[in-house]
Chain A
Amino acid sequence: MAKIVIVGGGWAGCAAAIAAKKAGGDVFLYERTDMLLGLGNVGGIMRNNGRYTAAEETILLGANELFEITDKCARHKNIEFPGHQHASLYDVTKIEPEVRRLLEKIGVNVFFQHRVVDVMKTEQKITAIKLHDDQVIEGDIFIETTGSTGPMGNCLKYGNGCSMCILRCPSFGPRVSLSQKAGVEDILGQRANGSYGAFSGSCKLNKDSLSEEIVKELNETGVYILPLAKEEINWGKLDMKVCQQYALKEYAENIILLDTGHAKLMAPFYPLDKLRKLKGFENARYEDPYAGGMGNSIRYLSIAPRNNRMKVDSVDNLLCAGEKSGLFVGHTEAIVTGSLAGHNSVRLSLGMPLLELPRNLSTGDLIAYANEEILKEEGLKNRYTFAGSDYFKRMKKLNLYTTDTEALKKKIERLNLLNIYNEKLI
């Protein structure tokens, strides 16, 4: 049996674990903190715009489990907010234990508070990884899903310092880029002005700290929009954020809250004293990051060069997914790339040709398009998501966007890829 070692338990790592397990791998997942899902613990937006298509494609390819959970844990389904249609918002306070139970049930070996700090290599092959306590873990194939956020030094250098986000670096230790340890230089994303990295795009307010009126509207509709006075509008914030799909003028002119269990404030950060001047926000306090009045985590500082089959360049047995694999934004994008990396890990161990998703699927096109664009200077300033910005425009232009699951099913059947992730290869 092939021993598949996955480093990083975010959405991408979990998706990779499930796909690798289903393909017959013996799967070991190492997570630095005490929770799975990483930034997924403070996210929540699914199925908005092109993500609907991507989710349905991925389910039809056979990676249905995580979407079933996000659908099951949705507080709101089929809602609209500026620039976004048919979104669903999962409850961040419910989702992690569900995913944890699923991984346990299917027999993935998950290790919490196990921080991977180095790799051991023979020529172009990783033979083992090294944990923070010097333990050596051998494996056949490795998948890096360590993300691209933090650690604290990066959040200071390119942001406003540690804002105490869910990643909790001071408690659990810094993220380590394994591809870089294996001798592959990281690619860094840029902002419009050329500086490196980007702020995470939203912060979470404690719902109990908001007025009854706001909470009521959030609970009922999932969305609360409060127009800002002219002098309060900060256009600059749109440029600095990761989530270009939310970098629309409506997001500068209004305070937009989404109900994900917390009240998700669609701005990278917002000074608390200013926020508390707004009606209904008089007692507001942050839930994530704790210092959301000052800053947010910094991302896109550690991307591995890879091919469209998710294999990292110059290392024979390392795959990657999630933000590690490109300037991607979002859980859906992480699950899409993670599932492919997980499935391909078993193929790689068997010497089989690796699966590449065709470009007439939105998922295949995103993976390939992001890889083309990252080679361009301007491309490093863009983010790639099914949910908006340039890529969603491209999806529509190429006719890849659809909410018609039946049509998608026919297409995937025609491509002979229906349920491919469910095939046991070993």
Chain B
Amino acid sequence: MAIEGDRCIDAGSEYCPCYLAEMNNCITCTRLKGKEYCDCTWRGVCIYQEYYFLNNKKRDIRQYQEVSIIEREFIGKNAIIFTLKVPQSLARQLKQPGSYIFIRNSRLEQFFDMPISIMYADHTEGVIKIAVEIHGVKTQSIKNVEDTLLIKGPYWNGIFGIEEMKKTKNASCLVLARGIAQAPAVLAVKYLMKNKNDVKLLIDRSTTQYNLIQDYCNAEILNDNCDFYSKEGKELLRHYLNIGNYELIFIGGSDYLHQNLLELISDKDKYRIVLTNNKEICCGEGVCGACTVYDADGIPIRSCKTQIKHQ
């Protein structure tokens, strides 16, 4: 799949311009990329001008904060839902689909930071919920944390195709979510429903062995226990694609799952495709390079901040 991307999710936000502008690597602005001409597609107040108004400096970056764990709920074999008390302003910033934060055990070093999708955000109470599947060294490190977590956010690039999603109104949408990727699907489903879309769900519980979505939204679940990799699961998906007149398809799961399911969709151009971002996100600021993918011309794209399109 060819990739293209030049839309920075942070452009125009209170975190723009960022370090990348200071270091002549802005994703959006050619002038802040060291070029001698304007050639951006950014529609809004010019990032170069913002930078100039800040006396050629970046804006303040996101800060770590230690927040209380209100509740820990173990689900299935190895997943935990953390309910965290956060400032109301942060909860408000995390309501958009694709929102994520970095979390870590406050007793450990920065390289234990892990990006986790927001599943639920209530800005009136200042509460957010995240679901973490215990897998490797980073997630193991918070398994037994009961009191506080160190968090940093908000970040927003957890979903590719956010603009497509925002455009979708009064339409039929099919949401496919597997395992822990049900968590980012929750905000997406809520957003789609808010825009009066008819949302249908197919859930593969996978190793979480749990239907997370039903607890947080009341979209119609066509099947809550398929196996997307099995022949039957694929048949089921084909069946629903044939009978439904969908405008948008959301796939929550690994890149491998995306690839498998997209292969089943014969006429991809017909649909708006929204995918979870599964790249290895490490700093979230476009600096470290862990999340780098390459477009057709071999140009590196920092996928932690850039909306990318698979063609």
A residues whose Cβ falls under 8 Å from a Cβ of B: 115, 117, 132, 150-154, 156-157, 161-162, 169-170, 172-174, 176-177, 180, 186, 301
Contacts and interface: CB of A to CB of B under 8 A. Distances in A.
Given A153-B29, A153-B31, A174 B48 contact: no
B39 A177 contact: yes
Identify the 6 closest CB pairs spanning chains A and B, nearest first.
A152-B46, A173-B43, A153-B38, A153-B48, A153-B31, A154-B38
A156 B48 contact: yes
A302 to B, nearest CB: 8
Contacts, number: 58
B41 A156 contact: no
Interface of B is mostly: loop
Interface of B: 29-31, 37-46, 48-49, 52
Contacts of B40: 151, 153, 174
B39 A152 contact: no
Contacts of A173: 41-43
14 contacts: A115-B43, A117-B41, A151-B38, A152-B38, A152-B49, A153-B40, A153-B48, A162-B49, A170-B43, A170-B45, A173-B42, A174-B40, A174-B42, A176-B41
Contacts of B30: 153
Contacts of B41: 117, 132, 173-174, 176
Nearest to B42: A174
B21 to A, nearest CB: 12
A156 B37 contact: no
Contacts of A177: 39
B43 A132 contact: yes
Given A170-B43, A173-B41, A174-B46, 14 more contacts: A132-B43, A150-B38, A152-B38, A153-B31, A153-B46, A153-B49, A156-B49, A161-B52, A162-B46, A169-B46, A172-B43, A174-B38, A180-B39, A186-B37
A128 to B, nearest CB: 15
Contacts of A180: 37, 39
Contacts of B29: 153
Contacts of A176: 39, 41
Contacts of A154: 37-38
A190 to B, nearest CB: 14
Contacts of B39: 176-177, 180
B55 to A, nearest CB: 13
Nearest to B167: A133
Given A156-B52, A176-B39, A170 B31 contact: no
B229 to A, nearest CB: 32
Nearest to A180: B39
Nearest to B309: A134
A152 B48 contact: yes
Nearest to A181: B39
A132 B7 CA distance: 12
A172 B46 CA distance: 12
B166 to A, nearest CB: 12
Contacts of B42: 173-174
B269 to A, nearest CB: 11
A271 B49 CA distance: 21
Nearest to A150: B38
A174 B43 contact: yes
B265 to A, nearest CB: 19
Interface centre among A153, A154, A174 (most CB of B within 10 A): A153
A154 B29 CA distance: 11
A356 B52 CA distance: 46
Contacts of B46: 151-153, 156, 162, 169-170, 174
A301 B52 CA distance: 20
Contacts of B38: 150-154, 157, 174, 301
A153 B30 CA distance: 9
A161 B210 CA distance: 55
A70 B44 CA distance: 33
Contact of B44 (A117, A170, A186): A170
Contacts of B43: 115, 132, 170, 172-174
Nearest to B163: A133
Nearest to A302: B37
A321 B157 CA distance: 41
B250 to A, nearest CB: 19
B48 A157 contact: yes
Contacts of B31: 153, 157
A188 to B, nearest CB: 9
Contacts of B52: 156, 161
A150 B52 CA distance: 16
Nearest to B52: A156
Contacts of A150: 38
A152 B45 contact: yes
Contacts of A156: 46, 48-49, 52
Contacts of A153: 29-31, 38, 40, 46, 48-49
Nearest to A173: B43
Nearest to A151: B38
A132 B42 CA distance: 10
Interface centre among A117, A151, A176, A177 (most CB of B within 10 A): A151
A153 B40 CA distance: 9
Interface centre among A132, A152, A177, A186 (most CB of B within 10 A): A152
A153 B52 CA distance: 10
A187 to B, nearest CB: 12
Nearest to A162: B49
A272 B40 CA distance: 32
A161 B37 contact: no
Contacts of B45: 152, 162, 170
Nearest to A196: B36
B263 to A, nearest CB: 23
A9 to B, nearest CB: 18
B32 to A, nearest CB: 9
A7 B30 CA distance: 22
B241 to A, nearest CB: 23
B56 to A, nearest CB: 11
Contacts of A115: 43
